[in-house]
């Protein structure tokens, strides 16, 4: 039996990747942001119903325990913030089950950073600056797009108020599959990914803001000035039709965070997915007091892929999942 042992990226591409990683570190060094390293394993995992976490059984001082491969370094980094670290960044190995494709790999590099005291607007500006710095060229003008307006313009639907039946019907038409049992967020995710995302960031950098409150994840919520509906205080950055970054005005309320963990696992049960152990140490850190501020996670492999003009993330990784 023959096995393809060769790397999925050329050696020259790996040299270019190293050069771009150095640019990232220079960007943060110039801003006095501390680089940190946190574990890829944790006693808690991501309860997000739309993420598939990987776990393993390990022998620890407490005996045999289940540990979770982290889908991002967020929980550990927030514990550092609560301990007084100040602004921090990390180039973190992250893991998400079942995500292998042109823009996905089961194991990937997440660039994540946190800015105590930063508003969401200030972090959006810094994220744009980071992208320009890594690319070494101007990706074009940046504009903010409201999630609600994108749906109205592209689909003539209001994602907040349109009946679920209307969303299901449009999602079936766009996705060419049955959406009879899909919930509201399932319909919105499909429509966003197939009908709206491919057009974003084609003439510059698009920053999408004011997502539905149900998609707040670990972000605070605020009111839509249009009609007072709750929306998530978060943003996503797109360039050339690719989602690059996801930023939050970070939630610091321990009771709200604990409630979201419970709601997430209830939704996972409803969807037939296994529960994930909630990170009780994150809750303890929030109770001790995490400073207010904003944080963002950026898919570094995707940014490097676009910077080097490659067609898939596998081309900028030494050994993508099929050859690992």
Close Cβ partners of 41 (under 8 Å, ≥ 6 residues apart)? 56, 58, 67, 68, 69, 70
**Can you tell me the distance from the alpha carbon of 245 to that of 302, in angstroms, rounded to the nearest whole number?**
10
The band of 250, judged by pLDDT with boundaries at 50, 70 and 90, is: very high
Residues 306 and 166 occupy one common structural domain: no
> 3-class DSSP state for residue 151?
helix
Task: Answer yes or no: do 20 and 69 share one domain.
Answer: yes
In CATH, what number is assigned to the domain containing residue 43? 3.30.930.10
In which residue are the tokens 């997000």 written? Answer: 48
Q: Are residues 130 and 258 in the same domain?
A: yes
Q: Are strands 55-60 and 63-69 parallel, antiparallel or unpaired?
A: antiparallel
Residue 303 lies in a domain: yes
Last residue of a domain, one of 154, 171, 193: 193
Same domain, 80 and 124: yes
As a whole number, the mean pLDDT across the chain is: 94
- Taking every pair of Cα atoms in the chain, the longest distance, rounded to a whole number of angstroms, is 63
Residues 286 and 302 in one domain: yes
Do 40 and 112 share a domain, yes or no?
yes
In a domain, 167, yes or no: yes
Report the domain count for the chain: 2
Tell me, yes or no, whether 108 lies in a domain. yes
pTM for the whole thing? Answer: 0.93
Is the per-residue pLDDT at 121 higher than 90?
yes
Report whether pLDDT(1) > 80. Answer: no
Instruction: Report the distance separating Cα 324 and Cα 312, nearest Å.
Output: 16
Please state, in angstroms and rounded to a whole number, the distance separating the CA atoms of residues 227 and 215: 18
Residues 16 and 134 in one domain: yes
Question: Model confidence over 151-176: pLDDT tens digits?
Answer: 999 999 999 999 999 999 999 999 99
Residue 283 has pLDDT above 60, yes or no: yes
Residue 240 banded pLDDT, cuts 50, 70, 90: very high
Q: Are residues 19 and 153 in the same domain?
A: no
Distance CA(89)–CA(107), nearest Å, equals 19
User: In which domain, by residue range, is 298 found?
Assistant: 11-141+247-323
Copy the structure tokens of residue 132. Answer: 């320009």
Same domain, 126 and 259: yes
In percent, the amount of the chain with pLDDT more than 90 equals: 84
């Amino acid at each position: 039996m023959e096995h393809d042992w060769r790397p999925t990226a050329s050696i020259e591409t790996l040299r270019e990747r190293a050069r771009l990683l150095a640019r990232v570190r220079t960007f943060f060094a110039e801003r006095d942001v501390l680089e940190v390293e946190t574990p890829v394993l944790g006693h808690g995992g991501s309860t997000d119903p739309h993420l598939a976490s990987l776990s393993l059984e390990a022998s620890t001082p407490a005996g045999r325990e289940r540990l979770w491969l982290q889908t991002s370094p967020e929980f550990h980094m927030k514990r550092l913030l609560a301990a007084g670290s100040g602004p921090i960044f990390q180039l973190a190995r992250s893991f998400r089950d079942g995500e292998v494709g042109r823009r996905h790999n089961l194991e990937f590099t997440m660039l994540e950073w946190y800015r105590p005291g930063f508003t969401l607007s200030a972090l959006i500006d810094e994220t744009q600056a980071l992208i320009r710095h890594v690319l070494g060229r101007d990706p074009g003008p940046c504009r903010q797009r409201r999630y609600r307006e994108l749906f109205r313009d592209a689909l003539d639907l209001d994602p907040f108020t349109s009946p679920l039946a209307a969303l299901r019907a449009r999602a079936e038409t766009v996705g060419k599959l049955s959406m009879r049992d899909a919930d509201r967020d399932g319909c919105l995710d499909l429509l966003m990914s197939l009908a709206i995302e491919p057009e974003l960031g084609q003439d510059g950098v698009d920053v999408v803001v004011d997502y539905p409150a149900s998609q707040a994840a670990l972000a605070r919520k605020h009111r839509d000035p249009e009609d007072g509906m709750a929306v998530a205080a978060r943003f996503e950055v797109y360039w050339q039709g690719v989602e690059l970054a996801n930023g939050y005005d970070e939630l610091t309320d321990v009771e709200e965070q604990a409630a979201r963990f419970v709601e997430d696992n209830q939704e996972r049960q409803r969807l037939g997915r296994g529960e994930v152990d909630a990170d009780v140490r994150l809750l303890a850190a929030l109770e001790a007091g995490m400073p207010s501020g904003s944080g963002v996670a950026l898919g570094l492999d995707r940014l490097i892929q676009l910077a080097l003009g490659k067609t898939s993330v596998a081309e900028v990784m030494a050994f993508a999942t099929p050859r690992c």
